[in-house]
Structure 1
């Protein structure tokens, strides 16, 4: 049922963008293959994460475990010098901000105005199982929080690398969730905060893949928590 809703939602987004435009360039009508990928994510190996995820480039379970094993384990670094302004985010591409892109990608039956801002739609928060019907009630969460990234290696990056991290639509780093769940999570790692258990697998895969892509470190406690969560993948 969820897959069907996502497919219908993807078609609705494409049609709305074609009729009203999404910024200056608009969005092109996706192919059937693109619709399938949007609804189910990239095909995962046997025993992989959820087949219904909208997160891009989410690895399968075995690949996730391999990635976790390749991460450097180290103590958390200092927060000295940290500011969210060090990670310029919600930049615009193709007439839509990164936030708007995620709202469109993760929503069902999303309709946007001429500025690409969703006016109608429905969003399911994977963190806590809440269904939201107003874009204003949806937060876009960085799977690996900006502050957590800072403490695990991002403090040494240049501003452009941090900009890429804060607006990453190519990797499983951004997700639409409820405001209460996002506020509850804050900048905590899986050692101290987790979404509802049914989402542990995909969350751990997304967290691990993001840290692997950006060569960030993990603590012993974080590594242990991710291992436990990945064990729920099958």
Structure 2
């Protein structure tokens, strides 16, 4: 069996982070019916320990939570992991939606009106992309996280820790556009006050080193008003 086939067969472990028991139970029932393995968490403070104990394939994350709100949980998760995150909320304000996505959420579903079938459709789409249809890492870019080394087109790169984390984040999802705030969360997970424009400086330095390694090649693309992506 190939790795892709094994991924397709293995039940997806999904964290359901929701403080309303009836809703959490209903979502979990639908997930089990589709062959997934849900774990229900009520308190936002329990999410990171649960992920550390056994990483999930996807997180369904309510915004209004006891202990630690969903947006704070999303920020913390994204600083430590690339796990897909789908925000669940009763709020419909545009500011909430944009904030959730800027923090690194992959999707956003309003619970009013509540549609378990819509949630399952979003879950299926994201799992197809991340477990079987993910874009392969470019073979011209090598990243050795254990040794904290990277090379571009066969040339070793001398990167600062921030530049290494930036390259690692972009390379984890080639073609995906990362908002500046989302990238900063991956670079500085300690909550320090850093303006989102600081990412421009880090990208400029990283580009300079990539171009020095392979003149004429610039794999990082700027998306005006949004952020950056790494192209194959």
Q: With structure 1 as the length reference, what TM-score do the two structures score?
A: 0.27
Q: Answer 1 or 2: which has greater strand percent.
A: 2
Question: Which structure is larger by alpha-carbon Rg, 1 or 2?
Answer: 2
